[in-house]
Amino acid sequence: MKNNALKNTLYSLFALFLCSLISCDSDDDLPSGPSIVVNSFSYGTDATNSFESTAGYYNDVVEAQQGVYRTVAFVTDENLTLDVNSEFQGMGVLLDIVLYGNQESAFQTGTYRIDADQDSGNAYVAYDIDYDSNDSLNRGVPLITGYVSVTPYQMGYAIEIDGEDLNGDRFHGIYLGNLTLL
């Protein structure tokens, strides 16, 4: 009786092993998509131009109009620093992000449409790859279509931007990290 139970158990395990070998296909043949890259933004006609982001900042939420609240954020590269007055110093990349929400809280989770109108659910984005704190004529290139997605992440946020700028060039990137209040 004991031998019979042991024999049946061994046959069952062997049958399960065979089933698992022949019924499972490897997923190695599945196409793999591009890996997700964070803190890197690409722009231009062929998206070969890019910059790395190293820091994020934001201003207090301000009521832009009745029931619409504006959060202004900045993402920079390693070449820009803050002085004691919370002003940017140096020459580098400055990404300007303005989010319009319906609550008096910074970085409301969701997807914002890039649009010049200051309506709730819209965003304004411009990037300046040659920002110079000593030049009063800095002009960022605004995005005219696309979206900004904001998601809380650990101690910070994931802010994904995908759009087209005024020159018809694509702009895409994800900032992942903490944002410091200015």
Note the pLDDT of residue 38. Answer: 85
Strand-pair category, 110-114 with 68-76? unpaired
Indicate whether 6 pLDDT > 80. Answer: no
Note the pLDDT of residue 120. Answer: 93
Q: Which of 145, 172, 150, 131 is nearest to 71 (CA)?
A: 150
Number of H helices, E strands in the chain: 1, 14
CB 47 within 8 A of CB 162: no
Note the pLDDT of residue 135. Answer: 84
Name the 3-class secondary structure at 10.
Answer: helix
Q: Phi then psi for 95, rounded to 5 degrees?
A: -105, 120
CB 70 within 8 A of CB 120: no
Indicate whether 178 pLDDT > 90. Answer: yes
Note the pLDDT of residue 21. Answer: 57
Q: What is the mean pLDDT of the chain?
A: 86
Residue % of the chain over a pLDDT of 90? 65
Note the pLDDT of residue 158. Answer: 96
69-97 pLDDT, tens digit each: 999 999 999 999 999 888 999 999 999 99
What is the spatial distance between Cα 68 and Cα 19, in angstroms, rounded to a whole number? 60
User: Tokens 């062997």 — which residue?
Assistant: 14
Residue type, 98: V
Note the pLDDT of residue 15. Answer: 62
pTM value? 0.79
Residue type, 163: G
User: Tokens 């411009």 — which residue?
Assistant: 126
Note the pLDDT of residue 116. Answer: 87
**Domain range annotation of the chain:** 30-181
18-76 pLDDT, tens digit each: 556 566 555 556 566 667 788 999 998 776 789 999 999 999 999 999 999 999 999 99
